[in-house]
């Protein structure tokens, strides 16, 4: 299995890749710009080339880029929708330039509008943002949510509706967040609940459409609709449940990226080590000590084989 964390782009993109290697990541996630601002600078060809080289040198795959939090492609307000379309087009362009495999985006919010119409608006907006662009191997991943307020994407059925709408327009799949699943009312914290949840996931989305898992424990309670991440094994989901998730045969070939808090130095390392321990991996690796490790041929074949 391949695990990683979200790393900071402070000091330049190549430093984010170096941090990922030093932490012991297999793959990693970054922002391509300030995640809470509408304006983003242009990437230079030189910066992109340096970043790509560091990734290649250390075998860091996959790279996921998380889209700006302000983006709401489902917005009923025309002005917010226009800003969101423009911002997401920039996300696609930067992700392609950096050589990312995945671009993760939330389904947005219906605000006070109709949810079905909002889902349709999201699909139209995303396709508009992508029109005429060459994704260069990039796949857009729609992330499930905790379901707070009017936010879309808390159910597998809504994610499936979105992916069906995008099917002929741009390569797309799903990113599943464990904390969001739990908060939305999917009982992944028990063995029967995990079996039930994965059965629903496969029936609605198909495992082949799940390209990335955000591995986060939850500070908030089951079905709370509250999005609060916690360190692996220290939240309401718990280490026993995470062990079942990480060892499940239908999930092991899907990359796991932690978006857990960094409250103390080395928290990211501790979360990665906990992930590997719960997954049953025998070796504990430190990026500062281990040699560069490229993705296995089997993993890459499995990645390319996904529809």
Residue 304: per-residue pLDDT: 46
Helices of type H across the chain: 13-23, 45-58, 78-98, 115-130, 156-166, 178-184, 191-204, 239-247, 267-279, 297-305
* Known catalytic membership, residue 36: yes
Rounded CA gap, 165 and 159, in Å? 10
Residue 219, both tokens: 């500070």
The CATH number of the structural domain formed by 3-305 is 3.20.20.150
Question: What is the model's pTM?
Answer: 0.91
> The tokens 């979105």 sit on which residue?
162
* Set 229, 231, 276, 285: catalytic member: 229
Average pLDDT, the chain: 92
* Known catalytic membership, residue 177: yes
> The tokens 């464990």 sit on which residue?
178
* Set 101, 227, 230, 268: catalytic member: 227
Let me know the angle formed at the C-alpha of 94 by 89 and 100, rounded to the nearest 5 degrees: 115
> The tokens 């080395």 sit on which residue?
266
Q: Which residues contact 275 (CB under 8 A, 6 or more apart)?
A: 3, 215, 232, 242, 246, 256, 258
* Set 128, 202, 259, 267: catalytic member: 259
Rounded CA gap, 105 and 7, in Å? 17
* Set 36, 39, 283, 289: catalytic member: 36
- Mean pLDDT, rounded, for 130-158: 96
Helices of type H across 131-204: 156-166, 178-184, 191-204
Q: Which residues contact 221 (CB under 8 A, 6 or more apart)?
A: 183, 236
* Known catalytic membership, residue 69: yes
* Set 14, 26, 143, 217: catalytic member: 143
* Known catalytic membership, residue 189: no
Closest CA relative to residue 212, chosen from 103, 127, 296, 98: 103
Q: How many CB atoms lie within 10 A of CB 145?
A: 25
- Mean pLDDT, rounded, for 199-208: 97
Rounded CA gap, 307 and 304, in Å? 8
* Known catalytic membership, residue 180: yes
Closest CA relative to residue 208, chosen from 75, 274, 305: 305
> The tokens 């041929």 sit on which residue?
297
The DSSP bridge pattern shows strands 217-218 and 229-230 to be antiparallel
* Known catalytic membership, residue 6: no
* Set 6, 58, 66, 94: catalytic member: 66
* Known catalytic membership, residue 229: yes
Rounded CA gap, 142 and 140, in Å? 7
> Is residue 98 within 8 Å of 32, Cβ to Cβ?
yes
Confidence of residue 112 (pLDDT cuts 50, 70, 90): confident
Query: Could you tell me which residue, 285 or 144, shows the higher pLDDT?
Result: 144
Q: What is the pLDDT of residues 12-27, one digit of tens each?
A: 999 999 999 999 999 9
* Set 2, 180, 189, 231: catalytic member: 180
Per cent of the chain over pLDDT 70 is: 92
* Known catalytic membership, residue 66: yes
Q: What is the pLDDT of residues 118-129, one digit of tens each?
A: 999 999 999 999
Residue 192: per-residue pLDDT: 98
* Set 6, 94, 106, 189: catalytic member: 106
* Set 14, 93, 101, 177: catalytic member: 177
Q: How many CB atoms lie within 10 A of CB 12?
A: 12
- Mean pLDDT, rounded, for 17-46: 95
Residue 41: per-residue pLDDT: 84
* Known catalytic membership, residue 214: yes
Rounded CA gap, 262 and 264, in Å? 6
How far, CA to CA in Å, does 18 sit from each of 22, 139, 177, 265, 281?
Answer: 6, 24, 25, 17, 24
Q: What is the pLDDT of residues 230-250, one digit of tens each?
A: 999 999 999 999 999 999 999
* Known catalytic membership, residue 248: no
């Amino acid at each position: 299995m391949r695990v990683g964390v979200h790393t900071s782009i402070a000091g330049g993109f190549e430093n984010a890749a170096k941090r990922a290697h030093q932490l012991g990541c297999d793959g990693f996630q970054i922002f391509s710009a300030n995640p809470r601002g509408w304006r983003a600078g242009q990437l230079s060809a030189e910066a992109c080339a340096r970043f790509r080289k560091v990734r290649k040198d250390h075998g860091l795959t996959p790279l996921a880029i998380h889209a700006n939090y302000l983006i709401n492609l489902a917005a009923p307000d025309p002005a917010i929708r226009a800003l969101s379309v423009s911002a997401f087009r920039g996300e696609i362009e930067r992700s392609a330039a950096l050589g990312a495999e995945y671009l993760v985006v939330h389904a947005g919010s219906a605000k006070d509008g109709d949810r079905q119409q909002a889902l349709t608006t999201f699909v139209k907006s995303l396709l508009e943002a992508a029109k005429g662009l060459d994704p260069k191997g990039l796949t857009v991943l729609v992330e499930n949510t905790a379901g707070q307020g009017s936010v879309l994407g808390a159910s597998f059925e809504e994610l499936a509706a979105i992916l069906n709408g995008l099917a002929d327009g741009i390569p797309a799949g799903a990113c599943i967040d464990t904390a969001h699943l739990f908060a939305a009312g999917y009982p992944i914290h028990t063995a029967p609940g995990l079996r039930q949840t994965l059965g629903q996931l496969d029936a609605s989305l198909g495992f082949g459409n799940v390209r990335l898992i955000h591995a986060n424990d939850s500070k908030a309670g089951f079905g709370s609709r509250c999005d609060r991440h916690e360190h692996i094994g220290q939240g309401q989901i718990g280490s026993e449940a995470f062990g079942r998730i990480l060892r499940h045969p239908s999930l092991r070939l899907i990359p796991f990226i932690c978006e857990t808090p960094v409250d103390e130095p080395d928290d990211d390392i501790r979360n990665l080590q906990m992930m590997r321990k719960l997954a049953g991996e025998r070796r504990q690796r430190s990026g500062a000590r281990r040699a560069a490790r490229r993705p296995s041929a089997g993993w890459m074949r499995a990645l390319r084989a996904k529809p």
